[in-house]
Amino acid sequence: MRLDQSFDRFNRELRRRHGITGAQLAMLRILAEREPVTLARLRAELAMHPATLGQLIERIARAGLVVRAPDPDDRRRRVLRVTTRGWALLVKAPLAGPVRLRTARLDPDRLVRLAEAFEDAVVLFGMEEWAA
pLDDT tens across the length of the chain (132 residues): 888 899 999 999 999 999 999 999 999 999 999 888 888 888 888 888 888 899 999 999 999 999 998 888 888 888 999 999 999 999 999 888 888 888 888 898 998 999 899 999 999 999 999 887
Quote the pLDDT of residue 90: 96
Residues 111 and 47 both lie in one domain: no
Residues 11 and 70 both lie in one domain: yes
Quote the pLDDT of residue 72: 83
Q: Are 83 and 67 in contact (CB under 8 A)?
A: yes
CA distance 43 to 49: 8
CA distance 116 to 26: 23
Number of CB atoms found within 10 A of residue 21's CB: 17
The CATH number of the domain where 26 resides is what? 1.10.10.10
Q: Using CB atoms within 10 Å of the CB of residue 44, give its burial: 0 to 12 exposed, 13 to 18 middle, 19+ buried.
A: exposed
Quote the pLDDT of residue 21: 92
Quote the pLDDT of residue 9: 94
Quote the pLDDT of residue 86: 97
Chain length of the chain = 132
Residues 129 and 91 both lie in one domain: no
Quote the pLDDT of residue 76: 82
Domain containing 48: what range? 2-96
Beta bridge partners of 102: none
CA distance 56 to 115: 25
Q: Are 60 and 27 in contact (CB under 8 A)?
A: yes
